[in-house]
A and B are shown apart, each in its own frame.
Chain A
């Protein structure tokens, strides 16, 4: 199956700094990637859909100026948390859809744990 990598696996930063998280599809090209966020003991919540060659689509309640998404190539999407604050501390997970039109089979990266001090 497809392999998806994320970098870094964890990061600690000071409040006010920006953090970039990379998501790479290693096995196949992906015109779409998904970014999820998971709080402790909570569900994964979809944040946005990253689209190669066009703007990302954000879910309701997600600040697009806060969470910048760039789908740089068919194998790379980046999520930048700008001016991070402690409430942004979370587990960020990307996924690549592997199915056909329903894209219901998704391949997940291992996640990036962000801690903002």
Chain B
């Protein structure tokens, strides 16, 4: 079945450091890929997404490129801030895997990022 694997945390970085959070996936069809972020005490928010191969999603300085050849969607940011401290979830939505829940999101386990000043 479809699945998402992302690097385990926690990840601790100093402010202005470069961030990479790895994410790979398996899917039967042509999934859309997402990164969600959960700030402390808040619900998950969509950070960025890509719907087809070679698409690059970007938002708030974060980027991720949909790599079909490596089945990856790694999250990157060139210079992290303390305010980026959160849990980041990689997810996919496979249109061939509807089941009883069209648009079902399949999540990775989440990676906690802590940025120190």
User: What residues make up the interface of A, taking CB atoms closer than 8 Å to B?
Assistant: 1, 4, 6, 34, 41-46, 48-49, 57-60, 93, 95, 97, 99, 102-111
Contact A97 B103 (CB under 8 A): yes
User: What residues make up the interface of B, taking CB atoms closer than 8 Å to A?
Assistant: 4, 32, 34, 36, 41-46, 49, 51, 89, 93, 95, 99-110
The DSSP consensus for interface residues of chain B is loop
Q: Which of A4, A48, A104 contacts B103 (CB 8 A)?
A: A104
CB distance from A102 to the nearest CB of B (A): 5
Contact B110 A43 (CB under 8 A): yes
Contact B101 A104 (CB under 8 A): no
- Please name the 8 residue pairs, one residue from A and one from B, whose CB atoms are nearest each other, closest first: A103-B103, A57-B100, A108-B44, A108-B43, A43-B107, A110-B43, A49-B101, A44-B107
Give A111 to B41 CA distance when docked, in angstroms.
9
Contact B32 A4 (CB under 8 A): no
